[in-house]
Amino acid sequence: MDPLAEIESSVAWLPEPSLYKMVGPYNLQHDGGSEIDVKVTSVKILDGTESTHSIKIVQPTGPLKSIEDTACLRSLVSYAMHISTENPVTIVSKDGASLCGVFCAVFNCIQQINMDDNVDVFTTVRQLQSRRAEFCSTLEEYMLVYKSVKDFIEFTSEHVYSNQ
């Protein structure tokens, strides 16, 4: 949920583009990247045998905490919804909670909209908080979820009825 450039520890394990870096018993190879609405970095993990595991690190290209502009957060959610993988998606942040809950809440709300044509933001956030109380623990984070879902509906629907 934070750009890797802002996380000091990423220098210790993330190799430079097209290079290898030994991290413990693993050899990491920076396999390229792209940037459209989100920055995607591909990394191959080589364990010394013939097995290779590829991961993609997806990070925001702009600020996520802005209630005025939710485009960056919605881009991350959209990317996560459209990847074709059966593997789990791991969401991390500097402190393990900030903005992770916002991302999960927005992701779950958009899935609700797509499946049921309605959404209950309050219940979605409460269900996440029952698993981890730190998720959406501030009014700003809660409002960011509401605004992101509202913006998603406005940008993807032509005819939306809402009570305001």
- In the structure, what pLDDT confidence band is assigned to residue 162 with cuts at 50, 70 and 90? low
Largest CA distance in the chain: 59
Confidence (pLDDT) at 109: 96
Start and end residues for every CATH 3.90.190.10 domain found in the chain = 62-164
Answer yes or no: are the C-beta atoms of 63 and 144 closer than 8 Å. no
Q: Is 159 exposed, middle or buried (0-12, 13-18, 19+ CB in 10 A)?
A: exposed
pLDDT digits (tens, 9 = 90+) for 64-94: 777 778 888 998 999 889 887 787 888 888 7
For residue 127, the tally of other CB atoms under 10 A from its CB is: 14
Q: Distance between CA atoms of 72 and 66, rounded to whole angstroms?
A: 9
pLDDT digits (tens, 9 = 90+) for 24-71: 888 888 877 777 788 888 888 888 777 788 888 888 887 777 777 888
Query: Does the domain spanning 62-164 belong to CATH 3.65.10.10?
Result: no
Percentage of the chain exceeding pLDDT 70: 95
Instruction: Tokens for 133, please give them.
Output: 């109380």
Confidence (pLDDT) at 119: 94
Q: Is the pLDDT of residue 134 over 70?
A: yes
Instruction: Report the pLDDT averaged over residues 11-26.
Output: 79
Sign of CA dihedral 84, 2, 18, 53: negative
